Amino acid sequence: MRLDKYLQLTKQFSKKEIQQLLKQHAITVNGNKAASLKQDVSKTDKVCLMGSRITEAPYFYLMVNKPAGILSALKDSHEKTIMDLIEHPRKDSLRIMGRLDRDTTGLMILTNDTRTIKRITLPQSHVEKEYEVTLRDPISKVAVQAFAEGLFIDQNVQLKPAELTILDDYHVKVIISEGRYHQIKKMFLSIHNQVLTLKRIRIHHLYLDDSLALGQYKCLDEKEIEQLTAK
């Protein structure tokens, strides 16, 4: 992995901050001053920042394939939550990146990286989320243009343009860049249709791993972390 990517993942520095640290000769690799942020480093290399070795990355990320009937909550006294699916030694530090409705399935991210959670979930970030939808009634091609123009929900609140792809009469994919309460369901209600099943398959550039069964989870690898955290 490149040195700049390594520092971004382990310390969450911005590129500008890392470049400044390099100019200050504050970064060493195996005792030598780092000459370039493009040089490769591995877990066995001794990377130090201002004399202190960087060891275990403080941030980690879990991908969960959420089943229906599970609450997107850290805890609940009566019902099963997403956290009840997780067995991890650092479980108590995890927070939720983008909640799903109780009956919605698919991609959820749990992490202790609160900075990235905020950046991904803030409305002004306009991060894309992609969903697979099963509908009660056949979908019309007219809906594609309606979604692209921005639908109205909640008493004339206009949504940002969304991308609707028709797979067949009853199945579609939807890409949105905002996250209002029950947004996908309300979008289809506004065109007189109803969502029967809803599954999130993508957040930003990160897709749900097809090998994960419902209720299963895994740690993101370096490539997947970059897909999720890329700006």
pLDDT at 64: 98
- Nearest-angstrom CA–CA distance, 38 and 54: 18
Give the active site residues.
101
pLDDT at 204: 97
Mean pLDDT by 10 residues, the chain (231 residues): 76 75 91 91 85 77 97 95 90 93 97 92 92 98 97 94 98 95 96 98 97 95 90 78
- Domains assigned to the chain: 3-53 (3.10.290.10), 61-123+205-229 (3.30.70.580), 128-203 (3.30.70.1560)
Tokens 């009840």 found at: 84
- Nearest-angstrom CA–CA distance, 31 and 65: 42
- CA-based nearest residue to 72, from 115, 122, 107: 107
- Nearest-angstrom CA–CA distance, 24 and 205: 33
Average pLDDT taken over every residue of the chain: 92
pLDDT at 109: 98
- Nearest-angstrom CA–CA distance, 176 and 126: 8
pLDDT at 3: 87
- Nearest-angstrom CA–CA distance, 205 and 127: 9
- In contact, 175 and 204? CB cutoff 8 Å: no
pLDDT at 173: 98
Question: For the whole model, what pTM was predicted?
Answer: 0.78
pLDDT at 90: 79
pLDDT at 56: 61
Q: What is the DSSP string of 7-21?
A: HHHHH---HHHHHHH
| 83 residue type, one letter | M
